[in-house]
Structure 1
Amino acid sequence: MSAAFHGELVPHPWRDPESEHDAYQLFHQRSVAMGWLDEQSSAAGGERASKAPGLWAMNNAFCGTRHAAAEPFARFQVECSTPANDRPLPVQPFLRCAEDTTARIGTAHLSAVQLLLPLQGLAPASRPRNALVPSMETCDWFGERAPQARTPVKITIDSGRNPSIPAIAQQLVSCLGHLEQDAFIPGKSGRADEDETLPPPFADGFWNGPPLHGMTLRGELAEWSCDAVGWLAATIADSASHLGVRTPLLLSVVRG
């Protein structure tokens, strides 16, 4: 699972740019503190090491100066554990951890979030009937938001060389529209043109690229936050998985 933050990062003026507390170390520490990291831990008294349960294993993290306008100012990558049958992909805690890490380094002005979602790790047939889209259990978290917090977004969903997303595009929009929630209100959808997709910050072989088969979806989020984007991404992942998608998805959520 991978995330890229687009926009602008203003580094804290008091922070030493050569500090040992870089994005990798900060993300690791935050993951451990929140119980989100899979790691080997040794019990007291020299007993055999046991694996502490978590949501992901560390892979890579970067936050700093961009070299080109189209590049993200921060990237985070983890090896995602297979979620429990009644739990969504942990996109919401993943983005929260990335957001907290970024806030230690500078002030972020986020214009877009791009995610690589490993749908091949989901098993929709094993979902309980009352948890087909597990993120629905937490949609009320966004219920107490001021009306002015609602934000228009444009979403691009791409299945790379696999044509699965265009094949189920209308069904996916229908599924999202029938969910009993107002954290995200879907609007118009269409085919994704090549220039509408943010270029992924990794090689095509890393997923199933290049982005060739995609769709766009406009709608309204309850708020512009990593929390809301993470919830939306997990909801789209499970909905697409139930419609038969088994390939990694490149998902971009652009504000405005």
Structure 2
Amino acid sequence: MKRVLFLILITNSLASFGQSLDQTFDFANQLYKQKSYQNAVEAYKRVVYFDSTSLYSNQIYPKIADCFFNLEKYQESADYYDLAYFSTEDSLLKDTYILKKISCFLILQEYDYAEIELLNLGSDLPDSLEYDKNFSEAILRFAKEEYDLSEQIFKKLASDTLAINALFDKNTKVGKISPKKAKIMSMIMPGLGQLYVGDIKNGLNSFILSAGLFALGVRSAIINNPLDAAISVLPWFQRYYQGGFKKAELIAIAKIQEKRYKIYNQLLDEIEKGGGFR
């Protein structure tokens, strides 16, 4: 409702009071400075709508893109950075908008699109944009599991290359964790796969539960008869046994992701220590 009222206000300001596009553009810029990004977007869009000569386009499109980025609407932000790219002939600005679009695609995990945009960058970038390009590509290569290339690029950015080397060594060890192996180990002995990936709590729970059901089945077979034991206990044992080794595989996958995410954050910390994040 507030958005509708705001649109009515802007439209009335232009139509009824003869407010110039300059004034509306200034008003939108004020909203932008006040971090009222959604309202700024609407004001900028009104200027674009009434701007028949596209006088303001090259100023407005990047502003709208920035607004959407701050609103965490990354697809819309990428779309407007694309419009900003085509609204200018300045090669430096074009490369700047491409890099911002790459940031959107990385957040959206649209890694193929990010890679395509990297290819669109100019070959002779100033130092600041070259740094941003390397930073984006280091993240992209890590996300696409191209770790050797990612390591090379991170070392260009960090002041402590030994720390980067140690983190990628740790990442290599993480890559040796096998979800399939965890599953097979838990098929051989319940809980063993969870212990293999370092999940001691779930490993012990799985072992104790399966062992307890097995012991209960044996006891029931001795006291009553094997058929009764099979009918009463076997379905429960089968359920927890199968659930245990399937869960071991999922836990292994989750552990790999968790460890890689931790390493990724540590890599970013190393870049920040070296004065990165421009």
TM range (shorter): under 0.3
| TM-score of the two chains, using structure 1 as the length reference | 0.26
| Structure with the higher helix share, 1 or 2 | 2
Indicate the structure with greater strand content: 1
Instruction: State TM-score, norm by structure 2.
Output: 0.24
